[in-house]
Amino acid sequence: MTSKVAVIRCDSYDEEQVYKAVKEGIALIGGLECIVPKSDRILFKPNLLNKAAPDKAVTTHPSVFDAVIRLFKEQGYDNMFYGDSPGNPTNPEKIAEGCGIKQVGEKYGLKYGEFNKGKTVNFPEGRFVKQFEISEGALEADAIINVCKMKTHQLGRITGGVKNLLGCVYGLNKGMCHAKFPDPESFGKMLVDLSRYLAPKLHIMDGIVAMEGNGPFSGTQVNMNVLLISTDPVALDAVFCKLINLDPSLVPTIKYGEEFGLGKYRDEDLEILGAEVSDLIKADFDVSREAARAGKWQNLSVVRSLLLKKPVIMAEKCIKCGVCVDACPVEGKAMYFKDDKRQNPPLYRYDKCIRCYCCQEMCPEKAITVKTPALGKLLIYKK
Ligand code: SF4
Ligand code: SF4
């Protein structure tokens, strides 16, 4: 059986326009009632990486979130809530408010779920990971509706459907996932098993204004004018790849997504409905397209230090807030303030740094970029 992906052109966040696009897309893949039983307790899961205005393309746009909830309401669903555990997990609701998402929840009378508490769950079917720390909010849902964002990501190349589910892991456990699965391949496998465990029933990707370059927080907004909708997160992400001219097999969550039976990505396994993909392709979308050849060697400190892309602070932008240091999941920290004073930007201990890029992801000032060492360009990253 093929995986259906609806590709709906939508060139503005005008609420009515977005609503019509979401409605059309869901109808194309079979309609809500075929996907989510009316009796289900439904969690709407946006991307709430960190506090950012909706037009920055960091988080799911409120218009898309609004359209999805409105459609469920209008079709008679009434047992619904929303939530996410952001990258900065200290106060999820405050971040939701800063992104305009909480206001949508309030408009429809939806409560924010419990995303700062959770429990250890066993997943014997896991192909790579058999245990997760999942938030109570995600555990109490019968159906998760994944309302994700189209963005680049330094570790996994893209963040779309599969990666967005990391927000169902509560609090600082997300950082621990990076420490435990430091390289893109193992992190991707973990995400695929997490997605298999959570098994959202529907994925809706906000790609009206996407993020390219130094994502997922510090990149550049780019008009992609599209919404993608599917019940298969691998197929959804694969169509995202088509739109940005990226080989999907280079994305670990797609490669292992197929291997572990989460979904499909090959052309012959996809049924693309709605708009013509060729009309929406942005071939020069700024995303990492080179094949990385470090393989398992990248877990050796010397290989990482000499060859792999590394986070670098742009001192002129740094306000010495220390968010990056707090976000670093490495025991003993791979970055620090000299003499414990905040007179200068933090310094890196590159020999300890596992290249998870959490610091780059969480810097509120977009002061951290990622650079490839000259030797890495020669030996590891192949154009
Ligand atoms: S998070 Fe950004 S602004 Fe804050 S100390 Fe780190 S680099 Fe500087
Ligand atoms: S310094 Fe940054 S990239 Fe390196 S391990 Fe810490 S958070 Fe990850």
| Four-point Cα dihedral 95, 96, 102, 103, nearest 10 | 70
**How many angstroms is it from 253 CA to the middle of ligand 1?**
29
pTM of the shown model: 0.94
Find the mean pLDDT for residues 31-53.
97
Whose Cα sits closest to atom 6 in ligand 1? 324
Taking each helix axis as running N to C, give the angle between helix 62-74 and helix 15-28, from 0 to 180 degrees, rounded to the nearest 10.
Answer: 60
Pick the CATH number of 291-382 from 3.40.50.300, 3.30.43.10, 3.20.20.140, 3.30.70.20: 3.30.70.20
In angstroms, the CA 246 to CA 289 distance is 6
pLDDT at 244: 98
Find the mean pLDDT for residues 29-41.
98
> Which of the four pLDDT bands, split at 50, 70 and 90, describes residue 379?
confident
pLDDT at 303: 78
pLDDT exceeds cutoff 80 at 293:
no
| Residue 318 CB less than 6 A away from ligand 1 | yes
Whose Cα sits closest to atom 2 in ligand 1? 363
| Residue 93 CB less than 6 A away from ligand 1 | no
Length of the chain: 383
pLDDT at 296: 63
Of 112-116, 141-145, 264-268, 301-305, least confident by mean pLDDT is 301-305
Q: What percent of the chain stands above pLDDT 70?
A: 97
pLDDT at 143: 98
Find the mean pLDDT for residues 26-49.
97
> Which of the four pLDDT bands, split at 50, 70 and 90, describes residue 295?
low
In angstroms, the CA 363 to CA 218 distance is 8
**How many angstroms is it from 82 CA to the middle of ligand 2?**
30
What ligand is nearest to the CA atom of residue 301? 2
Q: Could you tell me the residue ranges of all domains in the chain?
A: 3-279, 291-382
| Residue 326 CB less than 6 A away from ligand 1 | no
Find the mean pLDDT for residues 212-237.
97
| Residue 358 CB less than 6 A away from ligand 1 | no
User: Cα separations (Å) of 105 from 17, 47, 58, 69, 198?
Assistant: 20, 14, 19, 9, 22
For domain 3-279, give the CATH number: 3.40.50.11440
What ligand is nearest to the CA atom of residue 362? 1
> Which of the four pLDDT bands, split at 50, 70 and 90, describes residue 383?
low
pLDDT exceeds cutoff 80 at 33:
yes
pLDDT at 290: 80
pLDDT exceeds cutoff 90 at 211:
yes
Q: Work out the widest C-alpha separation in the chain, in whole angstroms.
A: 60
Residue 195 CB contacts under 8 Å (≥ 6 apart), including other chains = 161, 162, 165, 233, 253, 257, 262
* Ligand 1 atom with the shortest distance to the CA of 323: 1
pLDDT 10s digits, 9-30: 999 999 999 999 999 999 999 9
In angstroms, the CA 226 to CA 210 distance is 9
Find the mean pLDDT for residues 43-52.
96
| Residue 324 CB less than 6 A away from ligand 1 | yes
* Ligand 1 atom with the shortest distance to the CA of 346: 5
pLDDT at 376: 80
pLDDT at 202: 98
pLDDT at 118: 96
Whose Cα sits closest to atom 2 in ligand 2? 359
What ligand is nearest to the CA atom of residue 346? 1
Of 362, 258, 378, 249, whose CA–CA distance to 313 is shortest?
Answer: 362
Q: Two tokens at 245?
A: 């001219």
**How many angstroms is it from 178 CA to the middle of ligand 2?**
9
* Ligand 1 atom with the shortest distance to the CA of 317: 3
pLDDT at 224: 98
pLDDT at 70: 98
**How many angstroms is it from 383 CA to the middle of ligand 1?**
31
| Residue 205 CB less than 6 A away from ligand 1 | no
Of 169-178, 209-218, 259-268, 310-319, least confident by mean pLDDT is 169-178
